[in-house]
Structures are given as C-alpha cells and as structure tokens.
Amino acid sequence: MGKMSSKKIYLSPPHLSGYELNFITDALKSNWVAPLGPNVDGFENELADYLGIRNAAALSSGTAAIHLALILSGVKEGDTVFCSTLTFVASANPILYEKARPVFIDSDRESWNMCPQALERALTEAYHIGRLPKAVIVVNLYGQMAKMEEITYLCHKFRVPLIEDAAESLGSTYNMRPGGTFGSFGVFSFNGNKIITTSGGGMLTSNSTSAINKARFLATQSKDQALHYQHSEVGFNYRMSNLSAGVGRAQLLVLNERVKAKRAVFNKYYNELAEVPGIEFMPELAGTMSNRWLTALTVNEKQAGFSNLTLLKSLAKENIEARPVWKPLHLQPLFEGADYYPHSKDLSVSEELFNSGICLPSGTNMSDEDQQRVIDCIKSHVQVKAV
Ligand SMILES: *Cc1c(COP(=O)(O)O)cnc(C)c1O
C-alpha cells in the first residue's frame, strides 16, 4: 500500500547536536563571519586532535581538499592519477581540473574498496612503461576502510603518494587507527549528507606542516607575503567560513555518538533482513570499524526473486529515499576512454556491486518506527515459501 501521506524518510539527512547555535552566536557577536577566525582555527585543531594527525586545513568542500591534495602531490597536465572506480564523482573530478588522466581501479568483494591486486597490476604496468601515477586516490566507501596495509605497502614500494578520500569514513578505524590518516593526505567532507556536517565544507589533513601551510596559501588566492597584493601562482577561494566552522565544532562534539547510532541502524537492518535469501550486507573488513555511514547491501535477483531496482521503486512509492550503489566511474560518460583495471580478467567487482547494490536510509535521527517502515517494505517482497 503506497501511503504517499506518510512522512518522507531521507537517505542521510543532517542531524544537529544542539550546540550549533552557541558557536554561531559567538561568531556573530564577535563579528567573526569571514572565512577565518576562532572557529576555523578551533575546528582545524579539534579535528586534527581527534584524528591524531599534526595539521588540518578547513576548506569550502571535500572536493576542494582533493583538488589541493593533487596539486600538492605535483599533479600536472598529462600526468596520470589512479583512483578507486566505485565512488562518487567528486573523488575524480579534480583530476580533470588539472587536465591529468584518471586511471580507475576496481574493488574487491571483502571491502568493496580498491582491490590491492588490481592496484599492483596497474602500478607494475605503469612502472614498466615509465609512467607511474603522480598520486593514488583511495576511497573508504560508505565508511568502510580500504585494505590500507596492502595499499600503503604498494604506494611505498612504487613511491607514489597516497591520498585517502575519507569523505564518507570520518570516525572509522583500521587496526584502531582513525580513517583518513593513512595517506600523505586525508580528505574529509562536511556536506549535509555526511556523518557530521558544517552545512557544506571539507578538510585536508596531513602530518606535513609545510604541505598544509601551502594548502592554506593556495586556498586564499595564493597571496604572497607582501604589503601590496602580489601573486606568483594560481590560487583558489577554498577556505571555510567561520560560521560553517562553528557548526562543524558543534557537530564534532557528537561524532562518536553518531558513529554508534549509524552502527545501530545497520545492526537493526542486519538483524531483520540478513536471513532473507539473496540479500547480502556490505561486509566489515577484519580489524576495522566502519562508521556505517550508509547501510548498503546487494540483492541476488535469482535467489531473492526481486532485484535491487524493484526494491528502489517500491521504497520510492512508500516515500522512502534509497539509492543505488555509486555507478563506477569507468562507466561514466565523463570518463569515457579512461583506463580501467578490473579485479581480474573475468571479474569486475564494482560492476557487480553497482548492478545489485542498494543503500538504505541511514539517518542517525531516523526513528525506530521509520526504520521499521523501510524493513516492512523490503520484507513485503519476500515470498513465503510453502513448507
Ligand atoms: C561527499 C564526497 C566527496 C565530496 O565532498 P564535498 O564536500 O561534497 O565536495 C568526495 N568523495 C566522496 C567519496 C564523497 O562521498
């Protein structure tokens, strides 16, 4: 029964902590409304402390953070950059900003993230033709950590800087170490749908103080140290406003609670649906803790008797926002002609996940009753088999 009168359930809406107004009011009262100020400094320091990393630069978006990470890694026109294929387009768009060439790397089934074997093949081939990439962008999809031990080993071996796109994985850990701290650079996003938000913003992190100082310089129009306005290289307007940073500080206070809540949402789905034939939940890699930003699962149509697309349609009819898994970037018209390294000769895991995957509403402010509505809608597809 499609009750369009029922309240819309969103995929991952913002969830305020209640402290935002304090930070914003302070900023307004002290006239710190520019893209610099105490909240920007505070948010940078507090996020760096949370991650246990030396430096953080607050930026206008996660995309801006990826862009600056590429520039700081020395990416220039015509260079290649490797990138996870199963991700949001923002992971790779900045490669095009610099007129570099993306090469996409497939996922594996255990992590849904960059497959180390495919990465090794790609790096080995690139090495032999003398065209090693200037950077590797690894994504932690839906909060799940990639196989960092294998991936950092390969990047060290071939001496290629690693950029960790942790936009979806703030609060996740790998061997107890926070996600986003494995590469030369970590990238975070505080877009409205992320686990915490600034209403829009991002952060670039690194243990290299000089790199983060350079990032702040590039992000403020590359203004030289001079009394007059002097510029020697191209710059950007990429800094975060002191108001947004105030929202971020208030949100960071409840990050650990949000991780717990996301994981509780996942567990409820899992307990109710794991037994359904043909449904398989996104795994959690051994030794890691995912923030479970979005609960994702795959539907094997033959075993289930329905497909992921059928589910998407009937959830939409019930006013429930669900989404397919990201369309792999090597299949996007935007990146037509880009090289792609699948998991193995006859297996493209990202395509498999795209064709069968679905993300369920995962808001930390979703009520039990609302989540039950989602579960009931999915269960209504399950055929009761006669004994
Ligand atoms: C959201 C997201 C980004 C981009 O972040 P913005 O702040 O929206 O620019 C980058 N990569 C991934 C994987 C994301 O999910």
pLDDT in tens, 241-270: 999 999 999 999 999 999 999 999 999 999
Q: What is the mean pLDDT of residues 226-248?
A: 92
Alpha carbons 140 and 289: distance in angstroms, whole number: 12
Measured from the CB, is residue 61 less than 6 Å from ligand 1? yes
Whether the Cβ atoms of residue 166 and residue 140 lie closer than 8 Å to each other = yes
Atom of ligand 1 lying closest to residue 190 CA:
7
Return the number of other C-beta atoms located less than 10 Å from residue 18's C-beta: 9
* Portion of the chain with pLDDT greater than 70, in percent: 98
Look at residue 227 and tell me whether its pLDDT is greater than 50. yes
Reading the block at residue 33, the tokens are 């409304």
Residue 126's pLDDT band, with cuts at 50, 70 and 90, is very high
Tell me which amino acid residue 57 is.
A
Q: What is the mean pLDDT of residues 229-236?
A: 90
Distance 229 CA to ligand 1 centre (A): 33
pLDDT in the model for residue 384: 59
Q: What is the mean pLDDT of residues 186-211?
A: 97
Whether the Cβ atoms of residue 68 and residue 323 lie closer than 8 Å to each other = no
Where is average pLDDT lowest: 13-17, 74-78, 214-218, 383-387?
A: 383-387
Return the number of other C-beta atoms located less than 10 Å from residue 206's C-beta: 24
Q: What is the mean pLDDT of residues 334-351?
A: 97
Strand 323-324 vs strand 357-360: parallel, antiparallel, or unpaired? antiparallel
Domains defined for the chain, CATH in brackets: 20-252 (3.40.640.10), 256-386 (3.90.1150.10)
79-123 pLDDT, tens digit each? 999 999 999 999 999 999 999 999 999 999 999 999 999 999 999
3 or 210: which leads in pLDDT = 210
Residue 32's pLDDT band, with cuts at 50, 70 and 90, is confident
Q: What is the mean pLDDT of residues 221-245?
A: 91
Measured from the CB, is residue 139 less than 6 Å from ligand 1? yes
Kindly name the residue from 147, 194, 262, 313 that is annotated as catalytic: 194
Q: pTM score, two decimals?
A: 0.96
Q: What is the mean pLDDT of residues 289-312?
A: 97
The yes-or-no answer on residue 194 being catalytic is yes
Question: For residues 107-142, b (16+ Cβ closer than 10 Å) or e, as one string?
Answer: bbeebbbbbbbbbbbbbeebeeeeebbbbbbbbbbb
pLDDT in the model for residue 378: 95
Residue 15's pLDDT band, with cuts at 50, 70 and 90, is very high
What rounded mean pLDDT belongs to the chain? 95
Angle between helices 242-252 and 20-29 (to 10 degrees): 150
Reading the block at residue 53, the tokens are 């990393």
pLDDT in the model for residue 229: 85
Distance 148 CA to ligand 1 centre (A): 20
Q: What is the mean pLDDT of residues 362-381?
A: 96
Which protein residue has the closest C-alpha to ligand 1 atom 5? 62
Alpha carbons 387 and 381: distance in angstroms, whole number: 18
Alpha carbons 45 and 81: distance in angstroms, whole number: 30
pLDDT in the model for residue 1: 47
Atom of ligand 1 lying closest to residue 66 CA:
10
139's CB contacts (< 8 A; 6+ apart) are 83, 84, 86, 87, 91, 113, 114, 146, 165, 167, 168
